[in-house]
Amino acid sequence: MTLELKNVAKRVGTDTHIFATNLTLATKGFNILLGATNAGKTTLIKLMTGLERPTSGEIWFDGKNVTGVSAQRRNVSLVHQFFVNYPNMSVYENIASPLRVARIRGPEIERRVGETAELLRLTPMLRRRPSELSGGQQQRTALARAIVKDSALVLLDEPLANLDYKLREELRDELPRLFEDRGTIVVYATSEPSEALLLGGHTATLHEGRITQFGATAAAYRAPPDLATARVFSDPPINAAAVVKQGGEVALNADVRWPAVGAIANAPDGEYTVGVRPHFVAPAQQSESAVGLDGRVLVTELSGSESVAHFELGDQTWVAQSHGVQAYEIGEMHRFFVDVSRCLYFGADGALVTAAAA
């Protein structure tokens, strides 16, 4: 079973929300739509549900053209970022409502609602109204409504974004289990790269209405096709700086230069943009090939076991992310080390310099 978008585009007035997009989604694992706010994730999801019609292009589902089919007639489920449930119905009736609309028999409804509630640990709350539940339970109810239908396509639009940290982790761990072996195409929109990496499957990165990359999550992370995609798929943001390649060396400025290794080695001389993920910028020398950068520490953040430092280098701000608690002095100079074998290089057009292209 597949969902295919063929040259699907969406324009509203003179604004293009989605540029012509080709995408084939399958049942295996999660399909993650990764993009910043306003990148077009929700629009794309609405197109997939049938709530909105594409301006041009076709949507095919399981070998059938469903472009003009309304959301009611497509076998889809949707979970919103906000906890959307029917306020006047009990949790039981909320979960049962898609089945009632589909005219399924009473005992069957009872059985399926019971099973789904058990799966989402909602059984003790079935008699309550959604407004009497915690945020996490409300979102579980919405998930239960999506799952109980056994629909062929489940769309999750940032379902965890409005939950607090603990609940988010808990529900994120459960999600893959909920959809295991259901033979459903699951689409999961998120703005957090870490969520994409945790949920695995396939990732499509969205940037300003365009899908810039689609592939297995880990592979997509390792080889972004261009700088914009690398920015989308990096948290904290990827460090980007202009460099000049000359001969066998890459120069960041007059003082900092390192040997051109990897894909850049065979590229022609000229100006490039180097992209360094923050966790390849270390506060101490870890390998022989690391090159030192002297920066003035501006801000430091400590998140659990990770230390993040923002430092000033020339007129740019760089970010370094490392394990453990690092002793940075704000306003002081510190020598950071870049693992040059992990650097990504982008050409003048923004495209990744690959070994093959060179």
Partner 1 sequence: MRRAIWLVPTLYIVFLMLPIYWLLNMSFKTTNEILGGFTLWPHDFTVANYVTIYSDPTWYLGYVNSLTYVSLNTVISVGLALPAAYAFSRYRFVGDKHLFFWLLTNRMAPPAVFALPFFQLYSAVNLFDTHIAVALAHTLFNIPLAVWILEGFMSGVPKELDEAAYVDGYSFPRFFFKIFVPAIKSGIGVAAFFCFMFSWVELLLAKTLTSVEAKPIAATMTRTASTAGYDLGLLAAAGCLTIIPGAIVIYFVRNYIAKGFALGRV
Write out the residues near partner 1 by the rule CB under 8 A. Answer: 46, 49, 51, 70-72, 76-78, 80, 82, 84-89, 97-98, 101-102, 142, 145, 149
Smallest gap from residue 337 Cβ to partner 1 (A):
47
Of residues 76 and 290, the one with the C-beta less far from partner 1: 76
**Amino acid identity of 337?**
F
CB of 160 to partner 1, least distance (A): 16
Tokens of 130: 């959604």
R_g of the chain, CA atoms, integer Å: 24
Return the structure tokens found at 94. Answer: 């909320």
Q: Which is nearer to partner 1, 88 or 246 (CB)?
A: 88
We find the least distance from the C-beta atom of residue 83 to partner 1, in angstroms, to be 9
How far is it, in rounded angstroms, from Cα 122 to Cα 114?
9
Is the Cβ of residue 10 or residue 149 nearer to partner 1 in the bound state? 149
For residues 189 and 156, is the Cβ–Cβ distance under 8 A? yes
